[in-house]
């Protein structure tokens, strides 16, 4: 695990208000190269707003973002992508009935020829796709088969591989395992670990503590738009994380209430 390296990406005192609604209040967090930073929180904790701020969809109301120690402002998702911030959303931005290699290169198709004969270099796209997928353990004889033929975990992995291939330095994964079964989630987690080895900074958003604890190096917990702090894996247990996510006191109160309900008259 990394210790003293400068952060790849950092948020300093980021707040985001929508009118009177406080979505985020004074969030500070960082991700370093070669680590998986897990962003944990219950539904409505502000996870989505925070990653949309990182990926240029929203601009912070207050506070700053730093990339390689340098202050940056992303006015659009495109700008964030161009600076190497790749976000893999839950819906993956893939066309299910279209071929895998066609999806892999959608919007960034390789071409050959010139003028009116400029064309989509299908062979090159197929070759690179098949090479890149082989690296993550998905071997296909036919990369033109529809994305829909892949399993959920594989689809998620292809979306990540695409972001890595196109030069991502920081990879933001939005609930990549939430909709998956145990086996499929394992495929994705294994691949995320592999990505970390390539010295990328990974921000892994989830509400599943079990998945987070398996893969994370550090954890930042969000609750009601506020950060409950950032913890190294060594200094916090899974149970403590879970409790913090649910807002400790509320969970204590709930367990007391449940006890009272179930107590015989």
| C-beta closer to other proteins: residue 15 or 144 | 144
Which residues sit at the interface with other proteins, rule CB under 8 A? 77-78, 89, 91-98, 102, 105-109, 111, 118-120, 122, 134, 137-142, 145-146, 148-151, 183, 186-187, 190
Our CB check for other proteins shows the closer of 142 and 252 to be 142
Whole-number minimum distance, CB 68 to other proteins, in Å? Answer: 24
Which of 47-82 are b and which e, b meaning 16 or more Cβ less than 10 Å from the residue's Cβ?
bbbbbbbbbbebebeebebbbeeeeeebeeeeebbe
Q: Please give the structure tokens belonging to residue 196.
A: 């970390």
Q: Are strands 35-41 and 218-223 parallel, antiparallel or unpaired?
A: parallel
Q: How far is the CB of 122 from other proteins (least distance, A)?
A: 6
The smaller minimum CB distance to other proteins, of residues 22 and 140, is found at 140
Task: Please provide the DSSP assignment of 11-30 as one string.
Answer: EEEEEEEETTEEEEEEEEEE
**How many C-beta neighbours within 10 Å does residue 113 have?**
10
Shortest Å distance, C-beta 131 to other proteins: 13
Of 1 and 95, CB closest to other proteins: 95
Q: Which two tokens stand for residue 73?
A: 């402002």
Output the smallest distance, CB 180 to other proteins, in A: 12
């Amino acid at each position: 695990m990394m210790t003293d390296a400068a952060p790849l990406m950092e948020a300093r005192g980021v707040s985001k208000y929508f009118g009177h609604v406080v979505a985020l209040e004074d969030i500070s967090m960082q991700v370093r190269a070669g680590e998986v930073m897990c962003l944990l929180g219950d539904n409505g904790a502000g996870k989505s707003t925070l990653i949309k701020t990182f990926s240029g969809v929203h601009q912070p109301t207050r506070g700053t973002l730093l990339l390689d120690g340098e202050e940056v402002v992303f006015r659009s998702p495109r700008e964030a992508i161009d600076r190497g911030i790749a976000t893999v959303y839950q819906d993956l931005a893939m066309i299910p009935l279209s071929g895998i290699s066609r999806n892999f290169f959608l919007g960034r198709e390789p071409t050959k020829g010139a003028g009116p004969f400029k064309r989509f270099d299908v062979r090159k796209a197929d070759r690179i796709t098949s090479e890149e997928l082989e690296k993550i353990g998905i071997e296909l004889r036919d990369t033109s088969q529809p994305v829909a033929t892949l399993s959920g975990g594989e689809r998620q992995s292809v979306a990540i591989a695409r972001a890595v291939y196109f030069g991502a330095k920081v990879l933001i994964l939005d609930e990549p395992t939430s909709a998956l079964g145990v086996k499929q989630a394992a495929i994705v987690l294994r691949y995320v670990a592999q990505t970390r080895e390539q010295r990328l900074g990974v921000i892994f958003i989830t509400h599943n503590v079990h998945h987070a604890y398996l893969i994370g190096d550090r954890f930042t917990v969000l609750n009601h738009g506020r950060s409950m702090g950032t913890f190294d894996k060594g200094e916090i247990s899974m149970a403590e994380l879970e409790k913090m996510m649910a807002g400790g006191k509320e969970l204590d109160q709930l367990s007391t209430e449940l006890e009272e309900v179930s107590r015989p008259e």
